[in-house]
Amino acid sequence: MELKEYWSDKGHSRDFKLIRIGFVAVRFRWLVTLLIIGIAGWIAVDWWVLDTAHFKLLWKVRLMTGVMLTPLLPLSYLCKLNRRWMVLSLFALVIILLLFNLVSLWSFRDVATMPAGYVAFPYFLLALLAVLPLPIRSGVRIAVTIMVAVLATDYWLDSHTLNNGKLIDRVWLLLCFSLAMIWVQTGQLRMLMDLYRESTRDALTRLMNRRLFMQQFAAVRHDSKADQPYTLILFDLDKFKRINDEHGHLMGDEVLVRVAMTLMDIFGPDAMVARYGGEEFIVLLPNTRLEQGVRKAETLRLAVESQPVENPLDESEVTVTLSGGVVEGHHNSDMTELLLWVDEALYEAKSQGRNCVVAHV
Interface residue list for ligand GTP (CB under 6 A) = 204, 236-241, 244, 249, 252-253, 256, 278-279, 350, 354
Measured distance CA(252)–CA(314) in Å, rounded? 14
**How far apart are the C-alpha atoms of 236 and 56, rounded to whole Å?**
76
**63: which residues sit within 8 A by CB, 6+ positions away?**
40, 43
Which lies closer to ligand GTP via its Cβ, residue 194 or residue 245? 245
105 versus 256: smaller Cβ distance to ligand GTP: 256
Reduce the DSSP state of residue 5 to 3 states and report it. helix
Please give the helix or strand (H or E) that residue 357 lies within, else none.
Answer: strand 357-359
**Cβ 251 to ligand GTP shortest distance, Å:** 8
Residue 279 is among the residues annotated as catalytic for this protein: yes
Taking the least distance from each CB to ligand GTP, the nearer of 5 and 280 is 280
**How far is 149 from 121, CA to CA, in rounded Å?**
13
d(CA 162, CA 151): 9
Q: Residue 46 or 238: which CB sits closer to ligand GTP?
A: 238
Element (H, E) at 270: none
Active-site annotation holder among 279, 280, 328, 344: 279
Q: Which residue, 39 or 243, is less far from ligand GTP as judged by CB? A: 243
Closest distance of CB 192 from ligand GTP, Å: 27
Three-class SS state of 331: coil
Which residues make beta-bridge pairs with 85? none
Let me know how long the chain is.
361
Contacts of 89 (CB under 8 A, 6+ apart): 28, 72, 75, 76, 78, 79
Q: At its nearest, how many Å lie between ligand GTP and the CB of residue 82?
A: 39
Shortest Cβ 269–ligand GTP spacing (Å): 25
Provide the minimum distance between the beta carbon of 254 and ligand GTP in the complex, in angstroms, as a whole number: 8
Q: At its nearest, how many Å lie between ligand GTP and the CB of residue 285?
A: 23
Burial category of 90 from C-beta neighbours within 10 Å (exposed 0-12, middle 13-18, buried 19 and up): buried
Instruction: Report in angstroms the alpha-carbon separations of 304 from 42, 49, 278.
Output: 69, 77, 17
Beta bridge partners of 323: 236
Which amino acid is residue 9, in one-letter code? D
The residues assigned a catalytic role are 279
